[in-house]
Chains A and B, each alone.
Chain A
Amino acid sequence: MNTLNRSQKPLVSIPTKLNLPKAKVRLLNNQTRIHIFDDGTEEVVRIDFVFGASTWHQSQLLVARSTLRLLREGTQTFDSQSLAEKLDGYGAYISSGNSHHTSTFTLYCLNRYLPELLPVVCEILYQPTFPADELENLKTRWIEEYKTESEKVRILASRALNKAIFGIHHPYGVQICEDDFKHLETRMLKDFHNKWYHPNNLNIYVSGYANEATIAEIEKHFGYQIPSVLPEIKQYTPETATKTRINIEKKGAVQAGIRTGALTISRHHPDFPALSVVNMLLGGYFGSRLMKNIREDKGYTYGISSGIIPYKETGLWTIQTEASADYVENVLEEINKEIVTLCNEPVALSELEAATRYMSGELLRSFDGPFAAAESYRALYEQNLDFAYYDRVLNELQTISPDRIADLATKYLKNAKQITIVAG
């Protein structure tokens, strides 16, 4: 037997083309669109019901969120407890969540119980009653949750950054206070529901065990509601603060929450895939410069990262970390140094290669299995992008050069109007 040479790395092979799974898309009679990722080996299915109705569409704060959350607290046939008994009884899990542009109600269940569960979900989505006592109970719970969240420096820094970047009149920058919960009334929820929860404003994403029978069952319950005219969608423009540094005092905090941010390009911009590589090198993963320097070399923090939040029409480039108060200025100084270095010194090919290959791996992982694939696909679809986006990303990963990295770092990072928040 040959002796093993452990100082020699095993060979690595890199696929030149990634075979990403495609969605099957179908339009029902009532204009509801179904997106299908049928790749399940076990008989479980996840169904996301996504309405284009969220904070962007509401005229009072918290209305979109409470409408969504209260759907399952009462319908024309069932009260809150019977709904819970029904859904739990068949072993289903329900979750719901808002992005700025969509409200999502998700059902996870065993396929064999779909015939019993779908009519209940249909009633929840289209015939909710929004009982007043349920809203009161929810308000109390949300206020307490909000108070606890407000104790966290990470949350304080994040809220302040969005306020500074977008301004309080913009849905991305709006600030919530305790009174906003108290002002909620069921009529606002009913009104919001009437305006926006219609089949022509609904996309359904089915992933897992999703064969013809599954889809037919969904169509039976969701194909016949009547479409309705949707209100016009308002437009907002960011009003960015002129300050570059904002400190938020939090007495007794052992660590400070640090968050920096600047407006940047959206996913639609041709430079976006390349800028993602720049971001990856700076702070996008464990091997990034910020992690290597600020965590692995200096030990200032448990973790630091940078990212580009791809909003619908814009991007927000951010860096976030938590560190002891004593280290805050050092951390900010090191962040700056790393940005400058990225602009002034060409990145080593080996470092670039590690980042781009890691990103190709991420891409593979984000489409691995029907559940992950459906989520990644949906993120694109909601921004009016298609799979050609990933061809552009792949192409960029294979061709990007150190010079281009330095140029983009200068154009989009160094020259960005960065705002720094320190909460602690």
Chain B
Amino acid sequence: MITTNRTTLSNGLRIVHHFDGSTPMVAINVMYDVGSRDENPEMTGIAHLFEHLMFSGSVNIPDFDEPVQLAMGENNAWTSTDLTNYYITLPANNIETALWLESDRMLSLEFSQKSLDVQRKVVVEEFNQRYINQPYGDMSLCMMPLAYKVHPYRWQAIGADMKGVETINLDQLREFYYSHYAPNNAVLCICGNISSDQAIRLAEKWFGPIPQRNITTRNLPREPVQTEARYLEMTGKVPQDAITKMFHICDRKHANYYATDLISDLFSRGSSSRLYQSLVKEQEMFTEIDASVSGTHDAGLMYFSGMVHPDKNPQKALEALNNTIYALCSETIASAELEKVLNKVETERIFGLSNYLGKATQLAHAEILGNANDLNNEGEHYRAVTPEHIRCAAQQYLTESNSNTLIYLRKK
């Protein structure tokens, strides 16, 4: 049980505090409710570029990193399709340094044309390093546009390409900032060796004076229901054929989410899982195979990704994968199999919450989704799933007409 104190400042900033006396440290997460889904389709990759620029100077503080280092801290950030999260860990005594820094960059930014020019190049190098100069890197860039035709999940957080990053100007960035970065569009989570009174008093001191802003109302197009299987074949200079298959599933807050997550676990969590036993060990169709759900705030995907065995025909491998996936739709799984993945989920959940930064991130995320305390009910939600739920969810989502298959063939 993670005990939290929650409050909202008059400017709309939601605050979550959790005391953890087992550490001398404290973690501060500022999670903004903005991600790549909020980008203009003509200018993708901006939310992530912006995350880089958040370290390039705010209104009163020219250098973000050095004060963190002088306070014995460490900081970083990440951007996803739904969120942008900034975090600092440091000794609890030095918490004000973190609040001072985070509040200043929520108040106003002050970066130069030079910072923008440099960070553009850095992000282009990041794009090249992760997606272009990496075997199968371009495969992941093709996955989203295959599965999504309308919704902004059709590009990845890094951007569909680097055009937006290369051309955006300071005015456009300022506009992005003022329409998404605001106390009333963020959660501040403080987790560690600090009392709730002190945490909330200091949060009020540094963040309270920041004015509320008009946030662009999110009005994203819904992805239409897919009615026909999609298939894409590509080739590249890679050593091994690869297959990815994606099915549309529900959103993160939907009642079916826990069942879909467990379905991906039945398929791929641990060496006893269905995909590994059947496709890697018995049939030797793949050398590696994995399943997962995206867990995005809007309707997401269930992924199946495998590397085809060098002696096997990729079409035969795909057929074997399909058989294994669709078999779940016509059976009611044994309770022992469900119990197994529930145990795995429990172990992972507890390890994931065994450190203050992990807790801070998960609490902030739960608060963005509605209420930080919901994190305490996650275990029950998983335990409430029955073999019947699994069968229904499998029948609903795992159908060929709802599928998107991407085959990546090695150039001969």
- Which residues of A does B touch, CB under 8 Å? 4, 6-7, 9-15, 19, 39-44, 46, 72, 80-81, 83-85, 87-93, 108-110, 113, 137, 140-141, 143-145, 147-148, 150-153, 208, 252-255, 285-287, 295-302, 322-324, 350, 353-355, 357-358, 360-362, 364-365, 368-369, 371-372
Contacts and interface: CB of A to CB of B under 8 A. Distances in A.
A354 B66 contact: yes
B74 A322 contact: no
A91 B343 contact: yes
A81 B273 CA distance: 10
A322 B89 CA distance: 28
B338 to A, nearest CB: 11
Contact of B22 (A15, A39, A252, A360): A39
16 contacts: A6-B59, A44-B347, A81-B272, A85-B340, A88-B273, A88-B340, A93-B344, A148-B136, A151-B238, A152-B134, A287-B66, A299-B119, A302-B123, A357-B70, A364-B24, A365-B25
B10 interface: no
A4 B118 contact: no
A299 B117 contact: yes
Which of B118, B123, B272 has most chain A Cβ within 10 Å? B272
A44 B128 contact: no
A254 B121 CA distance: 14
A361 B205 contact: no
Contact of A144 (B65, B91, B117, B307): B307
A358 B97 contact: no
B170 to A, nearest CB: 17
A331 to B, nearest CB: 11
B354 A368 contact: no
Interface in B333-378: 336, 339-340, 342-348, 350-351, 353-355
Contact of A12 (B59, B97, B119): B97
B211 interface: no
Interface stretch (B173-181, B213-221, B243-251, B281-289): B281-289
Chain B interface secondary structure, helix, strand, loop or mixed?
helix
B290 interface: no
A297 B121 CA distance: 10
Interface in B58-106: 59-61, 65-67, 69-74, 89-91, 93-94, 96-97, 99-100, 103-104
Sorted nearest first, the 8 A-B pairs with minimum C-beta distance are: A91-B343, A299-B121, A361-B72, A147-B239, A10-B96, A84-B272, A84-B271, A88-B270
Residue among A110, A113, A300, A368 with the highest chain B CB neighbour number at 10 A: A368
Interface in B260-310: 269-273, 276-277, 280-281, 284, 287-288, 307, 309-310
B74 A148 contact: no
A255 B121 CA distance: 13
Interface string B114-132: 0001111111011011001
Contacts of B351: 44, 46, 108
A354 B118 contact: no
Given A44-B354, A108-B351, A141 B287 contact: yes
A91 B344 contact: yes
Given A42-B354, A91-B346, A254-B132, A300 B125 contact: yes
Given A4-B209, A42-B354, A322-B129, A302 B122 contact: yes
A350 B66 CA distance: 9
Nearest to A140: B287
A110 B346 contact: yes
B212 interface: no
A85 B72 contact: no
Contacts of B272: 81, 84-85, 87-89
Interface string B1-40: 0000000000000000000001111000000000000000
B241 to A, nearest CB: 10
Contacts of B122: 295-296, 299, 301-302
A148 B136 CA distance: 9
Contacts of B339: 89
B133 interface: yes
A140 B97 contact: no
B232 to A, nearest CB: 21
Given A87-B270, A301-B125, A362 B74 contact: yes
A93 B347 contact: yes
B67 A9 contact: yes
A372 B25 CA distance: 14
A299 B49 CA distance: 13
Given A6-B107, A12-B72, 11 more contacts: A12-B97, A13-B91, A43-B350, A84-B270, A148-B307, A252-B237, A298-B118, A299-B120, A302-B123, A324-B128, A357-B72
A150 B206 CA distance: 50
Interface in B129-148: 129, 132-136
Contact of A10 (B97, B288, B343): B97
